[in-house]
């Protein structure tokens, strides 16, 4: 190659290099622009999505507070144990049946006294002063009751052994029935609310029932006062 040709070739080389650099710069600028546009578009999408979530969160309804309802209190007083049965037990009504153990362990039932008059005195507790006097009075008049064709029974919630000890201690001749489960006491309406010295409690309300020979209630004495009571019951039995 001649010296002139080499010089010409040498002069044309920078132009090619400059063109290559221009093309690369253009490509770089274009890529940057596209990335910038993509970044802006992504930011807009994120902002829009975030805005949508915030609107949805704001639109979500608040949980309503539970409304408390109060049931009005009943003005009707609760029934007392034995009260309903007491109202049902009235003169002329059929005497409620029973089958319970007595002092000594034998069983006594209402059917044992069919065809004869029967006095049942319900007392609160064996070996207490009032109950002891009442049981002694009925024992004292037991012969007179027998002459009038009337049997006599005493009933309390004391266990059989306590009834037997009560009988032996005071030489009582009337059978003493043990109703620990309050079955007979409830049926005759004598188990209920009592008060003593300002204290209220459940127990036996001292009561006496006279049953005629046909098995019906002839007379009821409630809240008995012991003095002279057995004599009054004997007079009523004689009139039947």
Write out the catalytic residue numbers. 131
- Domain 83-239 matching CATH 3.40.50.10420: the answer reads no
């024992």: which residue's tokens? 139
H or E element at residue 184 = helix 183-187
How far is Cα 125 from Cα 132, in angstroms, rounded to an integer?
9
Would you write out the chain's pLDDT as a tens digit for each of its 240 residues?
444 444 444 444 444 444 444 444 444 444 445 555 555 555 555 454 444 444 444 444 444 444 444 544 444 444 444 444 444 589 999 999 999 999 999 999 999 999 999 999 999 999 999 999 999 999 999 999 999 999 999 999 999 999 999 999 999 999 999 999 999 999 999 999 888 888 898 999 999 999 999 999 999 999 999 999 999 999 999 999
Q: Sign of dihedral through CA atoms 230, 215, 193, 153?
A: positive
How far is Cα 108 from Cα 124, in angstroms, rounded to an integer?
20
- The pTM (predicted TM-score) of the whole model is 0.65
Residue 189 is encoded by which pair of tokens? 């309406």
């Amino acid at each position: 190659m001649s010296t002139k040709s080499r010089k010409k070739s040498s002069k044309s080389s920078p132009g090619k290099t400059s063109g290559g650099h221009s093309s690369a710069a253009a490509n770089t600028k274009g890529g940057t622009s596209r990335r910038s546009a993509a970044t802006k578009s992504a930011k807009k999408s994120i902002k829009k999505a975030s805005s949508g979530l915030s609107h949805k969160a704001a639109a979500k309804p608040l949980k309503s507070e539970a409304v408390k309802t109060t049931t009005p209190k009943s003005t009707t007083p609760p029934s007392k144990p034995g009260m309903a049965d007491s109202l049902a037990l009235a003169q002329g009504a059929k005497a409620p049946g029973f089958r319970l153990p007595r002092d000594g362990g034998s069983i006594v039932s209402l059917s044992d006294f069919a065809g004869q008059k029967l006095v049942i005195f319900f007392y609160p507790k064996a070996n207490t002063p009032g109950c002891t006097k009442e049981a002694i009075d009925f024992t004292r008049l037991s012969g007179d009751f027998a002459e009038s064709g009337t049997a006599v029974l005493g009933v309390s919630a004391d266990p059989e052994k306590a009834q037997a000890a009560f009988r032996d201690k005071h030489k009582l001749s009337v059978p003493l029935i043990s109703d620990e489960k309050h079955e007979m006491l409830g049926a005759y309406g004598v188990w209920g609310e009592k008060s003593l010295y300002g204290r209220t409690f459940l127990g036996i309300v001292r009561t006496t029932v006279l049953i005629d020979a046909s098995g019906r209630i002839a007379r009821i004495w409630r809240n008995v006062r012991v003095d002279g009571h057995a004599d009054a019951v004997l007079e009523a039995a004689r009139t039947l």
